[in-house]
Amino acid sequence: MRKNIVAGNWKMNNSLQEGLDLAKDLQKTLKGKTLQCEVVICTPFIHLASILKEIDTIGLGAQNCADKVSGAYTGEVSAAMVASTGAQYVIIGHSERRAYYGETNAILKEKVLLALANDLTPIFCIGEVLPEREAGIQEQVVETQIRESLFDLSPADFGKIVLAYEPVWAIGTGKTATSEQAQEMHAFIRKTITGKYGKEIADNTSILYGGSANASNAKDLFSNPDVDGGLIGGASLGVDKFLPIIEAF
């Protein structure tokens, strides 16, 4: 059955020392607790190798990887390099990558293939911008993102993907999707997967919600049958804010 996951996306925050302190503090706090979800932190590349030494029950991920295997791509970090640090996850297709770095569905498809080839679990982000929600085309937008980047995968490979629905209008704005809006979209996403890969794979796919999730709304969001956890930005940057979200399960 699918896993519940609460993943922190640190984005471009924390020096190496600050990141190490946060990871150690989180690991110490979680040690010995019985949790109903897997906890993952997705850090800047520079933190990965050092943080891995400080955590044991927490999963570790990058926030991006290159769409090329290796070679003369100055400034890029490949999926193989991410995997070589010991990280297990990689966020792919975050709306900030799509909007600020021109990452298209076709580019993201390459990144997913390279992540899978290196045994990384992609946390693949999808979601509509505000004008698309206002025009009532959010389902079409999300369906296209999934189809164009993921639906050429074999059933076995698709089964390794974690999805994160992040309505762009809810990211960093303090404006969360309502619990009903989240459930409605997550159910649509699961139905879309069922249509392509069948019910068993769809039922086994973890679909996380992201966008201004915090200690006060997490319980409500996670109580929905199709919401399997969260991808948490701002509220993952302090143990005091992140822990109540983890414990919302």
Q: Which residues bind ligand 13P (CB under 6 A)?
A: 9, 94, 166, 171-172, 210-213, 231-235
* Residue 166 is among the residues annotated as catalytic for this protein: yes
CB count, 10 Å around CB of 77? 17
* Residue 47 is among the residues annotated as catalytic for this protein: no
CB of 214 to ligand 13P, least distance (A): 7
**51 contacts 18 by C-beta, under 8 angstroms:** no
Catalytic residue among 96, 128, 166, 186: 166
- Which of 132, 166 has the CB closer to ligand 13P? 166
CB of 231 to ligand 13P, least distance (A): 4
Terminal-residue alpha carbon distance, the chain: 16
Rounded to whole angstroms, how far apart are CA atoms 32 and 35?
Answer: 9
Burial of 176 (0-12, 13-18, 19+ CB in 10 A): buried
Residue nearest to ligand 13P (CB): 233
Show the tokens assigned to 23.
């990871």
CB of 46 to ligand 13P, least distance (A): 19
Amino acid at 154: S
Residues 184-202, buried b or exposed e (16+ Cβ, 10 A)?
A: bbbebbbebbeeebeeebb
Burial of 154 (0-12, 13-18, 19+ CB in 10 A): exposed
CB count, 10 Å around CB of 125? 26
- Which of 47, 94 has the CB closer to ligand 13P? 94
CB of 65 to ligand 13P, least distance (A): 16
The secondary element (H helix, E strand) that includes residue 60 is: strand 59-62
Catalytic residue among 38, 94, 96, 143: 94
- Which of 197, 227 has the CB closer to ligand 13P? 227
- Which of 78, 212 has the CB closer to ligand 13P? 212
- Which of 41, 202 has the CB closer to ligand 13P? 41
Nearest to 2 by CA among 202, 164, 183: 202
CB of 186 to ligand 13P, least distance (A): 16
3-state secondary structure of 8: strand
Residues tagged active-site: 94, 166
